Every structure is written in structure tokens, then in C-alpha cells.
Amino acid sequence: MASNRVFWGIVSAAAAGAIIGLLFAPEDGGKMRKKLRKKTNSLANELIEALENSKQNAEMLKEKGEKFTGDLVDSAD
């Protein structure tokens, strides 16, 4: 659970830093919006990938837990 909070903290800080950096950059509005859109899409893709990895890890842990509890039941019989 703590690693989940750390992950979201890092993602949030990175997004905030990118947005603030782009907003204060001395560039024309069109270029800034294009960069912001590109960075936002990149962060969204990274987030989707991280969520998919988390889902796979959760499924793997579930399978291990089911096997472990099945082995315990078998040994108790």
C-alpha cells in the first residue's frame, strides 16, 4: 500500500512539474499547448502501463495465494 502512495506521489509531482515548467517557458502559446499535450499523452501512457503491470502483479499474487491456501487445506486433511 505504501509503494502505491509513493508511485502516485511521483506521478503527480512529475505531472505538476512538467505543467509548471511549460507554463513558465518563454514560448508562444501554440508551441506550449503542443508540448503540454505531448507530455500529457506521454504521462497518460506511462500511467496506463503502470496500471497494467499492477494488475498483472495482483493477479499473480492472487494465484499464489490460492495455491498456498489450497496446499494448506490439503496438508490439513
- The torsion of the CA quartet 71, 72, 76, 77, rounded to 10 degrees, works out to -30
pLDDT at 58: 92
Q: What is the DSSP letter of 52?
A: H
Angle, vertex CA 70, rays to CA 66 and CA 72, nearest 5: 120
Rounded to an integer, what distance in angstroms lies between the CA atom of residue 43 and that of residue 37? 10
Q: What is the DSSP letter of 15?
A: H
**pLDDT single digits (tens) 15-62:** 888 778 777 777 777 887 888 888 888 888 988 998 899 999 999 999
Instruction: Kindly report the pTM of this predicted structure.
Output: 0.53
